Structure 1
Amino acid sequence: MSYHLPSHVSFGFVGGGAVLLDIEADRYLMLRGAEAGALAALGTSGAPRSGADPALDRLTARGLLAKGPGAAVLPISVPAPTASALELAGKAERASALEIGRYRAGASLRLRFQGIGATVARWRALKARHLRGRADRATDPGAMARGYAAARVQLPWRRLCVPDSLALARFLWKRDVDCDVLFGVRIDPFAAHAWVQKGELLLSDNINAVADYTPVFRL
């Protein structure tokens, strides 16, 4: 019997266990012991190393795994950021506060009225549409991120990591920058954060703002 991750579930190994994000249910789950071990053992093959495993049955019953072929049961893997565009010296591309405000308001309204699952689905479609055949034509994503940050301070809304990350990503995707929105967690005490990153370059935060977080979701 093989297993795969449902499309709405992703995870990372954190603090001796596995933290799963069920994006449709908008919930994080911490797995330890047998369940975390069973998840790790699936690896790239998607099949347990031995016969029936009660831990896999429990995960399947909870909708966190699915039987049959599909997405590999692997943790989110991205390089740790080594620099932040907001901390590097350099020019800032001019950005419109009106455009940024439109993206930020759109993200907030979708999150409020449609939830995180539907919002992520919408942003996935936007990413595919904006980057189809055009990704990485931009020469300086750092300058664009700095321009966004300079214009963002003109808006009246307080910073919230999820809608702000979604707005920044949409702004960059429209300019052919192939970047990712990452959701990460830390343990003891538990906290979650979202940020935007391209390769090893952080585009939305200072380095120390994300240093303690392990990615568990990638958009």
Structure 2
Amino acid sequence: MTYQLRPGLSFGFIGERAVLLDLDINRYFLIKAEAAQALRDLIAGTVDAGTIRRLPRPGGRSLLVEGSNGFEPVEAALPGSSVLEAEARVSAHLPFHHALRAQLEASASLRILGIKRSIAAWRRARPVDVGRQLSIETADHARAFALRRADVPIQRSCVPDSLALMRLLWRKGLDADLYFGVRLDPFAAHCWVQAEDYLLSDPLANVLSFSPVFRL
């Protein structure tokens, strides 16, 4: 029998511990060292009753279901720089109403559909066969969006802002990765957009302390 993570779950390791995101209920769970080691054992191929018993059951539900998609942790290249901090002139033409439209779509989706269904909608909207590598056009449009976003009269928030940037990139035939990440002691969560090891949505200092637990 083969197993995979239950749909809606993702996780990442932070030192000896792990953090699990359950999109079904929009909650993060801290996985302590012993249970995190059981996850590592599963990844290494030790799928037996003892290992499965050591797994956490956040919310009283099993992490695993039958399937073949596996249970790999979310990982990302450590950001090395931000395109928003580069000394480059913005050449992309981004009308204000394009930035406003993307922001309104993201904010309305989260408000009406919630995080789980919004993420599902964004997955369906993602173009196929578009590379996620950093390009001059990707960096330029990210900078253009950041400039226009300053004029959009909607309160800043990392999740809708990142979803809006992704939507805008897709409309230009571009792509990147969107991450949810956390830091511990004290706990905090953040969402950002990244291509390779370049940040597209944030200054570098905003993201370096976060470890990814979800990738769109």
Q: Under a length normalisation based on structure 1, what TM-score does the superposition of the two structures give?
A: 0.89
Counterpart contact for 1:15–1:187, Cα < 8 Å? no
Cα deviation, residue 181, structure 1: 0.8
C-alpha change, 1:40 and 1:149, in structure 2 (3 Å) is same
Cα deviation, residue 83, structure 1: 1.2
Q: Which residue of 1 aligns with 2:128?
A: 132
Query: Percent of aligned pairs with the same residue?
Result: 38
Q: Which residue of 2 aligns with 1:78?
A: 76
Q: Which residue of 2 aligns with 1:196?
A: 193
In structure 1, how many angstroms separate the alpha carbons of the residues matched to 2:56 and 2:102?
Answer: 42
Structure 1 spans left out of the alignment, 5+ residues? none
- The answer to whether structure 1 residue 27 and structure 2 residue 3 are counterparts is no
Counterpart contact for 1:35–1:59, Cα < 8 Å? no
Cα deviation, residue 60, structure 1: 10
In structure 2, how many angstroms separate the alpha carbons of the residues matched to 1:60 and 1:157?
Answer: 34
Deviations 1:85-140 (A, max 9, x none): 1001112112122111111111111111211000000000111xxx2244469642
Q: Which residue of 1 aligns with 2:176?
A: 179
Structure 2 spans left out of the alignment, 5+ residues? none
Q: Which residue identity does 1:103 align to in structure 2?
A: A
Q: Which residue identity does 2:5 align to in structure 1?
A: L
Deviations 1:12-40 (A, max 9, x none): 01243110001121000011133211111
SS of equivalent residue, structure 2 residue 34: helix
Counterpart contact for 2:132–2:176, Cα < 8 Å? no
Counterpart contact for 2:26–2:115, Cα < 8 Å? yes
Q: Under a length normalisation based on structure 2, what TM-score does the superposition of the two structures give?
A: 0.90
Counterpart contact for 1:179–1:198, Cα < 8 Å? yes
Question: Number of paired residues?
Answer: 213
In structure 1, how many angstroms separate the alpha carbons of the residues matched to 2:209 and 2:132?
Answer: 28
- Pairwise mapping of residues 1-219 of structure 1 onto structure 2 (< 5 A)? 1-43=1-43, 45=45, 47-48=46-47, 50-53=48-51, 54-56=53-55, 58=57, 62-66=61-65, 68-92=66-90, 93-127=92-126, 131-135=127-131, 139-219=136-216
SS of equivalent residue, structure 2 residue 85: coil
Q: Which runs of structure 1 show a deviation greater than 6 angstroms over 4 or more consecutive aligned residues?
A: none
In structure 1, how many angstroms separate the alpha carbons of the residues matched to 2:60 and 2:140?
Answer: 47
Cα deviation, residue 58, structure 1: 4.2
Counterpart contact for 2:83–2:139, Cα < 8 Å? yes
C-alpha change, 1:189 and 1:69, in structure 2 (3 Å) is same
SS of equivalent residue, structure 1 residue 86: helix
Q: Which residue identity does 2:113 align to in structure 1?
A: Q
In structure 2, how many angstroms separate the alpha carbons of the residues matched to 1:190 and 1:32?
Answer: 14
Deviations 1:56-82 (A, max 9, x none): 38469614222x332221110110111
